[in-house]
Amino acid sequence: MKKKKDKRGQVASSRQAFSKLMIVAMILIMLTIVVRVTLIAATNSAYGQDLTKLAKEQYTREIPMKAPRGTIYDRNENPIAEETRTYNVVAIISTKYIDGHGKPLYLQKDQYYTFAQVMTNVLGVETDKIMKNLQEAKADAYQVEFGTAAKNITFEQKKMLETALKNANIKGIVFTDNPARSYPNGIFATHLIGYIKNEENKISGTLGIEASYNTILAGKDGAIVRSVDKYGNELPGSSSETKNAVDGQDIYTTIDSKLQNMLEGLIEASCEKYTPENMTGVLMSAKTGAILAMVQRPTFNPDNKEGLDENTMWRTLQTSDAYEPGSTMKVFTMATAIQNNIFNDQERFLSGKINVEDRTIKDWDNGKGMLTFAQALTNSSNVGMVTLEQRMRAQDEMMWPNSLKRFEFGTATNVGLFGEGSGKLPKFQNPVDMAMSAYGQGITVTTMQMLRGFTAIANQGEMLEPHFIKKYVDPITGKEKVYAPESLGHPVTAETTAKLLDIMRGTIEDQYYGTGYSNYVTNGFHASAKTGTAEVADENHGGYLPHGNYLYSFVEIFPTEDPQYVFFLTCKLPKNYDTRGCMASVANPIVQAAYESGAAEDEFAFATNAYSTAAKADVGNYIGKSNNDAQILARQALLHPVVIGNGTSIINQSLKPGDKKAKVNQKIFLFTDGNRTLPDMTDWTKEEVKSVCDFLRIKVVFVGDGLVTGQSIPYATEFDKDEVLSVVLGK
């Protein structure tokens, strides 16, 4: 009996222990639940998921509101690229698509055929195809689409469909919209204006202004947030939240449509006849740097896509491609020689050939005997230019290299398009390279760099930044941000340019020594010009392509007495060539038309008023960006960037990001990580000089009052930190 009692006691004890264990377990479970619920309540999250967000997503629907893309205009407010919309037809067939009272909003089966007939009548789609799409839809399908025939329909077609559907009392048909871009002029400065691609209903620029100014044009998308039930149906009487879209800015360019269309036609005709590898032409306002017309071939039509294929050139030749310019570079050699009194007007030299080190350099025509140096330019004598370069070297071995730097060759213009080339300066230590650069070989440039340099020749020594943006306009408020011409310094004096322009007249007026005589003609005015023929580098084997493979160029600055325009033309590797047919057939008509148009005078009057603008500038953060990208972004903000130092990236900037006091057309100093160098400070204010010197921690002494007329530390020259900068004021 005792054993039975012990056994019963053990069982009871085990039950009590189990009960206690269960109670403890229940308590732990309850504590865990309480803690978990408390955490969820406190953090609104579970297993890494935001429960509030999940609930909101389940019971709200966000309908995107596309921000209208800004329009691109010419200088006379004619649209070049503008926003359009196309639409896709969608039929909702889900029986869950009902209103708050249970009435169907979907396309009902007994209306399928009527709907198909409407589609046939309005869009020309076959009735059977529409019926097939509807009848073969899955049982649980929410909506049906109808292929390419019902996609990208126009606004007019959409309105016709809506009217027909309403008359037939058909419900359940919705239209999804697609952003699109229209280029009403077709082939029209295509590689400058650019092109957009629409991928997954998202528009983005892929070339030119459309790409580089995408952020400004695109604006910011918005959305409408609505409450829905578990089936996605909008709840009757529910409120909605709207996140307003911000419209893209309209961009007004400096392009003149009449001159642009004319230049397009002239270059197209020349290319059809002479089939070059490529051809470019740019017409620019001499006193402002505004690009009035800009053409390149090959090209394509961004509106109908004609010419778009695997061989499409996705770069803007005038900014991206560097080449050896040939004899048009002699303009800058002569400018440097005149500036430094390297020759007198009466002396002569023997043309024909000249030896430099182990190289014999010859004239294109084997020489014309004794020539003056003015005739050396008009007759395009290589020997004459090399003679001038050797004289410069004898007087100061850095005279010619420093002049190239003052004209900013070897430095990208950074006019506003990404992917720009910088060109390459010759090796200053190599006498042969330096001699060749004096006649445009052994140095590479971009067309935009040449245009930048020509502004100094045309504008009494003041060099301007070429530009193609006139202003930004907010399409809602109408507020404008206007660009004013940007001065880059004075590489030469007004006296030098006056003499040079007079000499350049001989290129087309001198019967005996003018390389362009009888080919290039003007009516009612004088023009200063220079022809160019350059050997083309062999990119595959080194050296140059065989004789006869040339890049031809031509610059014309007009009228000589008071230049208003610069025209620059290039033609690379034409299959056959004659000057009058290939180049002059383009230059003569466009130059005459430009002279008679008054376009440059209009731009100058507009630009003069732009300096008084008080619009706020949107200063970005340029620190850490490359030298080139920082300048482009600053110019896109309509600021005037000035680079301090010769480094490749920016370490500081004079205007802070978001600076509320910054105004458009204000200088912004970008300090680089390189050695200490100063820019050309001509026409700077005393305060602007002080701000740079304060950052560089150098002492400065001012002499006189007014604007800067001289500086003791030359442009682009490295200097010691203990050196004192003396600045002369006087203007």
Measure the CA–CA gap between 343 and 329, rounded to whole angstroms: 19
Neighbouring C-beta atoms of residue 29, cutoff 10 Å: 10
CA nearest to 519, candidates 560, 551, 552, 561? 552
Residue where the block lists tokens 């071939």? 297
- Residue 327 is among the residues annotated as catalytic for this protein: yes
Q: Which two tokens stand for residue 166?
A: 């309403």
Sequence-distant (≥ 6) Cβ neighbours of residue 167 within 8 angstroms: none
3 state SS for 125-172: CCHHHHHHHHHCCCCCCCEEECCHHHCCECHHHHHHHHHHHHHCCCCC
Measure the CA–CA gap between 258 and 253, rounded to whole angstroms: 14
Are the C-beta atoms of residues 415 and 450 closer than 8 Å to each other?
no
Q: Which two tokens stand for residue 461?
A: 């020594």
Measure the CA–CA gap between 268 and 249, rounded to whole angstroms: 32
Residue 611 belongs to what H/E stretch?
none
Alpha helices in 407-518 (DSSP H): 431-437, 447-458, 494-504, 506-509
Cα 590 to the center of its chain, rounded Å: 25
Q: Is 638 left (phi over 0), alpha (psi -120 to 50) or beta?
A: left
By CB atoms closer than 10 A (0-12, 13-18, 19+), residue 704 is middle
Residue 627's φ and ψ, nearest 5 degrees, are: -55, -50
Measure the CA–CA gap between 333 and 678, rounded to whole angstroms: 24
Measure the CA–CA gap between 78 and 258, rounded to whole angstroms: 11
Catalytic residue among 212, 257, 320, 327: 327
By CB atoms closer than 10 A (0-12, 13-18, 19+), residue 120 is middle
Measure the CA–CA gap between 300 and 310, rounded to whole angstroms: 12
Sequence-distant (≥ 6) Cβ neighbours of residue 181 within 8 angstroms: 69, 81, 82, 83, 84, 196, 198, 203, 210, 302
Residue 509 carries which side chain, given as an amino acid letter?
Answer: E
Q: Is 303 helix (H, G, I), strand (E, B) or coil?
A: coil
CA nearest to 302, candidates 142, 186, 443? 186
Segments of 385-499 assigned E as strands? 469-473, 480-482
Measure the CA–CA gap between 264 and 295, rounded to whole angstroms: 6
Annotated catalytic sites, by residue? Answer: 327
